[in-house]
Amino acid sequence: MGFPAGRQGQKQPRGNMDIRYLEESDYGPIIRVIDSWFEGRQLAKLLPRIFFIHFRSTSFALYEDNKVIGFLAGFVSQTDPSQAYIHFVAINPDHQKRGLGRQLYSTFFETVHRLGCTTVRCITSPINTRSIAFHTRMGFKVEHITGECSGVPRTVNYELNGADRVLFVRSLP
């Protein structure tokens, strides 16, 4: 799951902001800008179109003035329907520091709780300190810790190409 590095101090007045389910027509506009939202990290390939087609009931777009400025793609586990998983989250860096990530997560939590989920999981990269701080603030705990580096507990070699990941879990009340 991604979470872009922020551009600090850009509090903006709120326009006509709202949240709706993600739609397949969001795929093009999002996929064209997503790498730039993450300072050029190539993340578009982590976001296949299937999330915009088959997981709409638990995936959300934040839009303002008819433009998507953030989104969350998640699903309910089909192995264990009491578990939900957040696959990808991104906020346009020009709209960070407005609590939009919290709004997307709250919407997801309420939705999957209504669907019977009691646990939410997600994964982030150990270098994404903003994402780690955000998830900690949102009540997530790190699980499956097998190592630590630069003070960041992590699951070593989770991706099997040597890349570590931080695995988060949170209970739903």
Rounded Cα distance, 139 and 4, in Å: 19
For 65-96, b/e burial (b = at least 16 CB within 10 A) is: eeebbbbbbbbbeeeeeebbbbbbbbbbbebb
Which of 49, 67 has the CB closer to a second copy? 49
Q: Which residues in this chain contact a second copy in the complex, by CB under 8 A?
A: 27-28, 31-32, 45-46, 48-50, 53-58, 75-80, 83, 85, 87, 158-160
Q: How far is the CB of 155 from a second copy (least distance, A)?
A: 11
Choose between 92 and 111: whose C-beta lies nearer to a second copy: 111
End-to-end CA distance of the chain: 23
Among residues 50 and 133, whose Cβ is nearest to a second copy? 50
- Residue 131 CB, nearest distance to a second copy (Å)? 17
State the Rg of the chain over Cα: 16
Tokens of 105: 């997560």
Smallest gap, in angstroms, from Cβ of residue 11 to a second copy? 33
What is the Cα–Cα distance from 96 to 58, expressed in whole angstroms?
Answer: 22
DSSP 34: H
HSE of 130, CA atoms in CB hemisphere, 13 A: 16
Q: State in angstroms the smallest separation of the CB of 28 from a second copy.
A: 6
Least distance in Å: CB of 46 to a second copy? 8
Q: By C-beta, is 8 or 78 nearer to a second copy? A: 78
For a second copy, give the closer residue by CB, 37 or 64: 37
